[in-house]
C-alpha cells in the first residue's frame, strides 16, 4: 500500500482545506487557544436503501489516494499537535515514567518443544523482541532465530508473526508485515545454514503449519480487496506454484489452518460468528484429502482437539449455550457419535481445554471469575486451583508437552503483577517461575486496593465493575475516574495488572473496568444480550455504570473520563450521543463509528463475516436498528465532552475514514467549545505503533490529554 509523506507547507494544506472561522477553545489554560481547527469540505453523496435516502457529505474521505484526503488528515494532525504543544513536556514525563517501570533487558520464561527451549528476549533501549532457542538445557549455546530490531531497520512499522518450526527442527517459517494492514508475506529460514530461502508467499494471514515431511507448508491466503481469509494453500519448498487445498466460498465465513497439540493432525477450520466446521488430515500424509468432522449447521459451534483415539469437542450442540465437552472416535466424527464428557451448566461457561497424558485441564468462567479445573483421565482426581480475589485473571499459557504433570498458567490482578506459575497436578506444588518486575522503586502493591461493584442497568440487570485505586480513597465526588469497556464479540475484559496504569492511580485516579453485555464476563447469555437487536444494552450498561460511579460519590461528571477502542470506540461514540453530560473527556481509539455505511459495503474488510454480530442492514429490520445507534449517523446539535480520537491510515479492521468522517461531522454540528482532536498515525494500522516503546508513547499522549483536562500538569 502506498505511503504518503506529510505535506511540507501550510500553503498546500490551505489549497485543500477550508478552515473554520470560529475557534475551539480549551477549558484548560495549559492548552493552546485561538487556533482554528480544520474543516473538511462537504460533498453531497446520497446513499439509498429501503426507501431511505441518507446524505453523507463526508463520504469522499474514503478516497485513500486522494491528496485532498491526505491533506485533511495532515491538517487535523497539525491542529492536534499545535493545540497540545504545551502538553509535550507532560507527555514526555509520562513516557519516561512509564518506561522506567519496565525491565528493559527482559526474558520470557523458556518453554520446551521437541527438544529445544524457546525464549523471547528484549534488550535495553530496543523496541523489538529477539527470538532464541537452546537445545535441551538452558546451559546450551544460544541460537538466535530472529532479531526483530535488525529486521525492523528502515521500516516505520514492523511486525513478525507466525513462527513455526519444522518437525526436524531444521527450518522455521515466519511472516512479516511492514505496513500494519495485517497482510503478511511468509518466508522460510534454514536454521542450519542461517539463511532465508528464496520462497516468498504474499498476502497471507501470517500463520503457517508444517506437515511431518519437513518440506510442506500449509497457509491461509486473504482476499486482496476484502482481506477475508478464504483460501488454504499447500506450499512445497522450492516449488514456484502452490496447490489450492480449500476455498471458502461463503463470504460470511473465514478459514484457517493449524496442527493439533498432538502434532498428528492438520486442521482446517471454517468459522463465522455462529457456526464452525472442521476438516482434518493426518500430518504425515500432506498429499492426502482432508475429511470433515461435522458439516456446518446454522447456530452449531464446535472446536476440536486430539487425544489418543478420540477427538474432544467443545460445543454448543443441543442448545448448550455455555458449551459442553464431548468426544468422538477418530473414524466416526459426525455429531450423532459425540459422547458427553462434561455436561452443559447454566451457571458455568466452558471456555477452553488443555489436554495432557494423564490430565484434562478445563478453563471455566463462573460468576464472572476465571476458574481452572484439574481432572485426571482415570477419575482419581477432580479439583479447582484456589483463587481468592474478585479482581484477578488466571489462564493457562504455553503447554505444548503431553507427557507431563506440570501445568503452566499465568495469574495477575488489578493490584498484583503478572506471574507465570508451574503447578504440579499430581503433588499440587506450585512454583512461581517469574513475576513481572515493576522497576523505579515506587511500586508497592500494598498501596493499592481493588473491589468489584454492581451497577443496575435500565432493565434491572446487575452490571459488574472492577475498580482499582490507591488506598485512602475518599468518596467525596471529586476523584477522577477513568472508565473502560469493550463489550462486543463475546470478548471479555478481565481485570489485569498494568504498569502504565500506575501513572493514573498514583495521581489519584480510580480505574474502572465495566463488564458490559456484549462480552462474556457473566457467561454466553451476557454476549447474546449485547449483540444484534440487543446491541444497545452495551451502551446503556456503560452509562448505568457511569451513573453508579457518580451516585456513589466516586466521582462527578466534571471528573469522569471514558475510554474504548475499535468496537469499544463504537461504544464511546454511542455514549457521547446518548449521555454526553456524564463525561468531561472521552478517548475513542480506532473507533468503529460509521456502522451502517460500513455494514452495507461488502467490499470492506470484515463486513460480510460480521452480519451475525451486528445484523445485515440489507434486511430493513436490522437497517433501522443499526441506524438508530450508529454514532456517525446520530451526531446532533448538542454539547459533547472533550474528545481525542485516534486512527491509523492503514487500519484494515476499522478504516481510517470512519473516525475522520465522525470528527468532521462533530466539528460541523456540535454546539460547545470543548476540545476535539483527530490523531492519525500515517504509518500504522489497527494496532497502532509496532515497537514496545512507541506504543507507550501513544499511551502517554492519551494520558496527558486526560490529565490536562483534570488540571494535573505533572
Which residues are identified as catalytic?
Answer: 566, 651, 686
Give the Cβ contact number of residue 357 at 10 Å.
12
Phi, psi of 612 (to 5 degrees): -75, -10
C-beta of residue 201 within 8 angstroms of C-beta of residue 238: no
Burial class of 68 by CB neighbour count within 10 A (0 to 12, 13 to 18, 19+): middle
C-beta of residue 25 within 8 angstroms of C-beta of residue 78: no
Strands (E), 114-228: 116-121, 130-135, 143-147, 159-165, 171-177, 184-190, 195-196, 201-210, 216-222
For the chain, give the number of residues: 714
Please give the Cα distance from 166 to 266 (Å, whole number).
14
Q: Which residues contact 474 (CB under 8 A, 6 or more apart)?
A: none
CA angle 215, 217, 219 (to 5 degrees): 170
Quote the radius of gyration of the chain (alpha carbons, Å). 26
Q: What would the grid cell of residue 229 be?
A: 481469509
Looking at the DSSP bridge assignments, the partners of residue 267 are 258, 280
Please give the Cα distance from 524 to 314 (Å, whole number).
14
Q: What would the grid cell of residue 286 be?
A: 500432506
Q: What share of the chain is helix, strand, coil (3-state, %, to 5)?
A: 20, 35, 45
C-beta of residue 58 within 8 angstroms of C-beta of residue 663: no
In angstroms, how far apart are the furthest CA atoms of the chain? 78
Please give the Cα distance from 549 to 607 (Å, whole number).
36
C-beta of residue 446 within 8 angstroms of C-beta of residue 434: no
Please give the Cα distance from 216 to 498 (Å, whole number).
41
> Residue 383 — left, alpha, or beta (φ > 0 → left; ψ -120 to 50 → alpha)?
beta
End-to-end CA distance of the chain: 40
Q: What would the grid cell of residue 275 be?
A: 457456526
Amino acid at each position: 500500500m502506498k505511503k504518503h509523506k506529510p505535506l511540507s507547507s501550510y500553503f498546500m494544506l490551505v489549497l485543500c482545506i477550508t478552515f473554520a472561522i470560529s475557534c475551539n477553545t480549551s477549558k484548560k489554560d495549559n492548552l493552546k487557544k485561538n487556533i482554528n481547527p480544520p474543516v473538511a469540505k462537504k460533498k453531497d453523496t446520497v446513499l439509498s436503501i429501503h426507501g431511505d435516502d441518507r446524505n453523507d457529505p463526508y463520504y469522499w474521505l474514503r478516497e485513500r489516494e486522494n491528496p485532498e484526503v491526505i491533506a485533511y488528515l495532515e491538517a487535523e494532525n497539525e491542529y492536534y499537535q499545535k493545540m497540545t504543544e504545551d502538553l509535550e513536556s507532560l507527555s514526555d514525563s509520562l513516557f519516561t515514567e512509564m518506561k522506567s517501570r519496565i525491565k528493559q533487558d527482559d526474558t520470557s520464561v523458556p518453554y520446551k518443544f521437541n527438544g529445544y527451549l524457546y525464549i523471547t528476549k528484549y534488550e535495553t533501549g530496543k523496541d523489538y523482541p529477539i527470538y532464541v532457542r537452546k537445545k535441551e538445557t538452558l546451559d546450551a549455546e544460544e541460537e538466535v532465530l530472529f532479531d526483530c530490531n535488525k529486521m525492523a531497520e528502515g521500516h516505520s512499522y514492523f511486525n513478525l508473526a507466525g513462527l513455526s518450526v519444522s518437525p526436524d527442527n531444521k527450518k522455521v517459517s515466519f511472516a512479516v508485515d511492514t505496513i500494519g494492514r495485517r497482510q503478511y508475506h511468509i518466508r522460510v529460514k534454514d536454521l542450519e545454514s542461517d539463511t532465508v530461502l528464496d520462497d516468498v508467499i504474499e498476502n497471507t494471514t501470517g500463520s503457517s503449519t508444517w506437515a511431518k515431511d519437513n518440506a510442506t507448508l500449509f497457509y491461509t491466503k486473504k482476499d486482496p480487496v476484502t482481506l477475508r481469509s478464504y483460501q488454504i494453500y499447500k506450499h512445497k519448498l522450492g516449488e514456484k506454484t502452490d496447490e489450492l487445498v480449500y476455498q471458502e466460498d461463503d463470504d460470511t465465513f473465514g478459514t484457517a489452518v493449524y496442527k493439533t497439540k498432538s502434532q498428528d493432525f492438520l486442521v482446517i477450520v471454517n468459522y463465522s460468528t455462529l457456526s464452525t466446521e472442521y476438516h482434518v488430515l493426518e500430518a504425515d500424509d500432506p498429499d492426502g484429502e482432508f475429511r470433515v468432522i461435522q458439516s456446518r449447521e446454522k447456530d452449531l459451534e464446535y472446536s476440536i482437539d486430539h487425544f489418543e483415539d478420540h477427538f474432544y469437542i467443545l460445543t454448543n450442540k443441543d442448545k448448550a449455550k455455555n458449551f459442553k465437552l464431548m468426544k468422538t472416535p477418530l473414524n466416526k466424527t459426525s455429531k450423532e457419535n459425540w459422547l458427553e464428557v462434561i455436561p452443559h451448566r447454566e451457571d458455568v461457561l466452558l471456555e477452553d481445554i488443555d489436554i495432557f497424558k494423564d490430565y484434562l485441564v478445563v478453563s471455566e468462567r463462573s460468576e464472572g471469575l476465571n476458574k481452572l479445573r484439574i481432572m485426571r483421565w482415570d477419575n482419581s482426581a477432580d479439583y479447582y486451583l484456589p483463587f481468592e480475589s474478585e479482581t484477578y485473571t488466571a489462564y493457562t499459557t504455553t503447554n505444548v508437552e503431553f507427557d507431563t504433570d506440570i501445568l503452566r498458567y499465568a495469574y495477575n490482578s488489578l493490584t498484583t503483577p503478572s506471574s507465570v506459575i508451574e503447578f504440579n497436578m499430581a503433588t499440587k506444588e506450585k512454583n512461581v517461575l517469574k513475576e513481572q518486575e515493576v522497576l523505579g522503586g515506587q511500586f508497592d502493591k500494598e498501596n493499592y486496593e481493588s473491589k468489584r461493584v454492581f451497577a443496575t442497568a435500565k432493565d434491572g440487570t446487575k452490571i459488574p465493575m472492577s475498580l482499582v485505586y490507591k488506598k485512602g480513597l475518599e468518596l467525596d465526588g471529586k476523584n477522577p475516574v477513568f472508565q473502560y469497556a469493550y463489550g462486543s464479540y463475546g470478548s471479555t475484559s478481565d481485570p489485569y495488572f498494568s504498569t502504565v496504569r500506575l501513572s493514573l492511580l498514583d495521581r489519584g485516579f480510580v480505574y474502572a473496568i465495566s463488564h458490559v453485555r456484549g462480552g462474556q464476563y457473566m457467561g454466553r447469555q451476557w454476549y447474546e444480550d449485547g449483540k444484534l437487536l440487543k446491541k444497545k444494552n452495551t451502551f446503556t450498561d456503560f452509562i448505568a455504570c457511569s451513573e453508579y460511579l457518580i451516585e456513589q460519590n466516586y466521582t462527578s461528571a466534571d471528573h469522569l473520563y471514558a475510554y474504548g477502542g475499535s468496537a469499544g470506540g463504537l461504544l464511546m461514540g454511542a455514549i457521547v450521543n446518548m449521555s454526553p453530560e456524564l463525561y468531561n473527556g472521552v478517548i475513542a481509539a480506532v473507533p468503529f463509528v460509521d456502522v451502517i455505511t460500513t455494514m452495507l459495503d461488502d467490499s470492506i474488510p470484515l463486513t460480510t463475516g460480521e452480519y451475525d454480530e451486528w445484523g445485515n442492514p440489507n434486511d430493513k429490520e436490522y437497517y433501522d436498528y443499526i441506524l438508530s445507534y450508529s454514532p456517525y449517523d446520530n451526531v446532533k446539535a448538542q454539547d459533547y465532552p472533550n474528545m481525542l480520537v485516534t486512527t491509523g491510515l492503514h487500519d484494515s479492521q476499522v478504516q481510517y475514514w470512519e473516525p475522520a468522517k465522525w470528527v468532521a461531522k462533530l466539528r460541523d454540528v456540535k454546539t460547545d467549545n470543548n476540545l476535539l482532536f483527530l490523531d492519525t498515525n500515517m504509518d500504522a494500522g489497527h494496532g497502532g505503533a509496532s515497537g514496545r516503546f512507541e506504543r507507550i508513547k501513544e499511551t502517554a499522549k492519551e494520558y496527558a490529554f486526560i490529565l490536562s483536562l483534570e488540571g494535573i500538569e505533572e
